[in-house]
């Protein structure tokens, strides 16, 4: 009797021990169809609160609710089999105190089946990160350009251009590492600083606008596929999916208007 092969997901401890080893491949995913495709090649699928801007045309990530993140997280878990799924904790769901953060993170884990949560902040969030991990919730940290702090940062600005601020950013990285995060996203940090942090801390760094010396890289899937006509500087566009979709839609519209579609092969004839 044949046995079905069970695919086992990548886990937080497996990502943690990749420090200094094979680079970690991470991409965002917001729904089951992309999750199914990306799952074959990525180690981590991040259900990012960036979906606010990518899918819902919001100006920032601040308008995303916990329910929305859970709905998209559930879809990505259903659409994937191998990659670790990490779900962003949305703005307002974890900052108040560790107890509230745990309650909301536990709900995310229970209702989506994901493998970890991600939250933004360094030194100020270290106690919360430690609190969650001690209670069984793996945490991916996120420092540097933290989009949920866009209003206090004064916009989406590169971090570390002023070398006088490097000790503060390094302190954030060390704090989340010491608190037990299994990895940390370094976003929008000047290359020399991102490289130094990657060499100095004990956990894997995952760069987005960081350094090739990071232990892994992440991009927003829609950016690298060419959906975004003005992607950020740190994005390498690997496809022209946006153009391909427009061409396909135009061909369909032309066929409908000229009555070329549907053809005989697309309709049901009376037998």
* Range 260-270 average pLDDT: 93
Q: Is the pLDDT of residue 1 over 60?
A: no
Residue 114 confidence (pLDDT) above 70: yes
Rounded to two decimals, the pTM is 0.95
Peptide bond into 85 cis (omega under 30): no
The predicted pLDDT at position 37 comes to: 97
Distance, in Å, from the CA atom of 216 to the CA atom of 145, rounded to the nearest integer, reads 17
Given pLDDT bands bounded at 50, 70 and 90, which one contains residue 193? Answer: very high
For residue 86, pLDDT beyond 90: yes
Question: Is pLDDT at 3 greater than 80 in this prediction?
Answer: no
| Catalytic positions, written as ranges | 187
Q: What does the pLDDT look like over 6-51, one tens digit per residue?
A: 679 999 999 999 999 999 999 999 999 999 999 999 999 999 999 9
Query: How many CB atoms lie under 10 A from the CB of residue 270?
Result: 3
Task: Give pLDDT, residue 216.
Answer: 98
Q: What is the DSSP letter of 228?
A: -
Paired strand residues for 120: 142
Q: Does 69 have pLDDT greater than 80?
A: yes
Residue 134: closest CA among 172, 105, 164: 105
Per-residue model confidence (pLDDT) at position 6: 61
8-state DSSP, 180: T
pLDDT band at 154 (very low <50, low <70, confident <90, very high): confident
Q: Does the pLDDT at position 143 exceed 60?
A: yes
| CA–centroid distance for 173 within its chain | 18
Where does the pLDDT of residue 93 fall: very low under 50, low under 70, confident under 90, or very high at 90 and above? Answer: very high
pLDDT greater than 90 at residue 70: yes
């Amino acid at each position: 009797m044949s046995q079905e092969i069970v695919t086992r997901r990548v886990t937080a401890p497996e990502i943690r021990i990749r420090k200094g080893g094979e680079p970690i491949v991470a991409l965002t995913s917001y729904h089951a169809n992309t999750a199914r495709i990306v799952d074959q090649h990525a180690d981590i699928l991040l259900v990012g609160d960036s979906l606010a801007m990518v899918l819902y045309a919001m100006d920032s990530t601040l308008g995303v609710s916990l329910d929305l993140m859970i709905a998209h997280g559930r879809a990505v878990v259903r659409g994937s089999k191998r990659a670790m799924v990490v779900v962003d904790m949305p703005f307002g769901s974890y900052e108040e105190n560790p107890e509230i953060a745990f309650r909301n993170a536990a709900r995310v884990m229970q209702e989506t089946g994901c493998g970890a949560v991600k939250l933004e902040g360094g030194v100020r969030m270290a106690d919360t990160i430690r609190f969650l991990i001690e209670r069984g919730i793996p945490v991916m940290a996120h420092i540097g350009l933290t989009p949920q702090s866009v209003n206090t940062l004064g916009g989406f600005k590169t971090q570390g251009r002023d070398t006088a601020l490097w000790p503060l950013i390094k302190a954030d990285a060390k704090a989340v590492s010491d608190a037990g995060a299994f990895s940390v996203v370094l976003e929008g940090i000047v290359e020399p600083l991102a490289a130094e942090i990657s060499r100095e801390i004990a956990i894997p760094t995952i760069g987005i606008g960081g350094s090739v010396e990071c232990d892994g890289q992440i991009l927003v899937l829609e950016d690298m596929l060419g959906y975004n006509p003005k992607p950020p500087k740190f994005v390498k566009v690997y496809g022209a999916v946006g153009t391909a979709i427009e061409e396909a839609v135009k061909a369909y519209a032309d066929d409908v208007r000229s009555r070329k579609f549907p053809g005989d092969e697309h309709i049901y004839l009376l037998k």
